[in-house]
Structure 1
Amino acid sequence: MPVMHFRIQWPDGDEANCYSPSQVVSEFFTPGHAYSLDDFVKRSREALNIASERVRQKYGFACSAAMDQLAQIERDADRYRDRADATVKVIELV
């Protein structure tokens, strides 16, 4: 199963490298595009749940790394909830 990483930039300029066990994230994000915080978290949740389910279908168990990545994204996003105009930029998909 092809792994994909996506590099993002949080509203304060911090960057993070994120992991997906599947290339499904390329269906949810466009490199260079900035998403509202809520939209980014929603897209991440959907993409990483699909990716984890693909692992389950192939190997018989969910992908804990995908769920850990989602949890990290949700924790990090909470730091910016007080910013009404917060956006997250997807820098690249690799």
Structure 2
Amino acid sequence: MSHILSRHGDIRRWVAAHAGRPRFGAGMDAEGRRQRLLQITFDGRPAKSAHDWEEWLAELDRQNLALNILDDAGVGSDFEFVKRGNGA
């Protein structure tokens, strides 16, 4: 079973409840251009500032992504980024 989170408050609460924090990585898009990769680190440390969340959530919106929460997955694999649908 899984469910989609797209509202910022819901995402922040889910990440905090799992001792995570937002972060960025570097990667390439389908056309070979550099892009910021959204990541969540589960190391028990909080985000350094509210700005970290604001920037991360703005990028989530820019990339039109949501979190698909996989309720029955193992540790470390209990979410994935997915494109937002019309209802997300």
When normalised by structure 2's length, the TM-score is: 0.32
More strand by share: 2
Higher RCO (CA 8 Å, separation ≥ 6 residues): 1
When normalised by structure 1's length, the TM-score is: 0.30
More helix by share: 1
